[in-house]
A = this chain, B = another copy of it.
């Protein structure tokens, strides 16, 4: 019996994806690949004495985070949720997925819900899908590394693989891009490009193939903005490899690609583990 528990969930930048809606949210999701980051979200669940309205704080500010409430509802508990992150919001780092998954792990401990890791990952995945805030971050964040999502859906439905490397990653953000707006639009062209990129990476599961397939996807999916295009080109001109974070006006690069090109970029490492309790 404990009054609070904290989980760390790595950030996740998707390089390419295809969207796979389904009637059952547990089976819905995306296929694709990305990198999980040692920069992530610390989520703490506090037991509350009286039955209260659930409250969610991020970096000390009250926030609307529908997936978090859905996770607590699915576990049948009320709690105060506080989270801390150095990652930008709404910029393609999977912060909402991290909040959902961290909530599931930490609430399971505080309230002794007795769920398994796959069950908690599935709860968080379903909450994201139902909220329209993400399709593949949660399963990637539960795994860590450089995850390849071979199938859509929660554990038990979606198989994962990974690129066996642990690069340093730099990133720079120019602003938000609404996941909900993109996913609620026509995703046919985007998904065709994502399937193509995945086939490439499965044939050759290396970092350089991941970056190449991601850049090609960003171009074909029609999501590039001018400043993103320009930044990717600048990194390439400086001899590095960069692409766009899906979905955000964010560029990520391997190694010191962005700082070599003169950008003031944040730097972190690929996260080796998935989400974990502290």
Contact = CB atoms under 8 A, between A and B. Distances in A.
Interface of A: 105, 108-109, 112, 114-120, 144-145, 148, 155-156, 159, 161-166, 202, 204-206, 272-274, 276-278
A159 B156 contact: yes
Main secondary structure, interface of A, reads loop
A164 B115 contact: yes
Given A117-B164, A166-B278, 13 more contacts: A105-B164, A114-B204, A115-B164, A116-B162, A117-B145, A118-B161, A119-B205, A144-B273, A155-B161, A166-B276, A166-B277, A273-B273, A273-B274
Given A272-B273, A276-B272, A114 B206 contact: yes
Contacts of A112: 206
A164 B205 contact: no
Contacts of A159: 156
A276 B156 CA distance: 24
A117 B162 contact: yes
A15 to B, nearest CB: 16
21 contacts: A105-B164, A109-B164, A112-B206, A114-B204, A114-B206, A115-B164, A115-B205, A116-B161, A116-B162, A116-B205, A117-B164, A118-B161, A119-B205, A120-B164, A145-B276, A156-B159, A166-B276, A166-B278, A272-B276, A273-B273, A273-B274
A116 B276 contact: no
A257 to B, nearest CB: 19
A162 B118 contact: yes
A110 to B, nearest CB: 12
A43 to B, nearest CB: 13
Contacts of A116: 148, 161-164, 202, 205
A250 to B, nearest CB: 25
A107 to B, nearest CB: 11
The list of the 8 closest CB pairs from A to B, nearest first, reads A273-B273, A117-B162, A116-B205, A272-B273, A272-B276, A118-B161, A116-B161, A117-B164
Contacts of A105: 164
A115 B148 CA distance: 13
A210 to B, nearest CB: 11
Nearest to A204: B114
Contacts of A164: 105, 108-109, 115-117, 120, 277
Contacts of A114: 204-206
Contacts of A277: 164-166
Contacts of A163: 116-117
A166 B278 CA distance: 8
A75 to B, nearest CB: 12
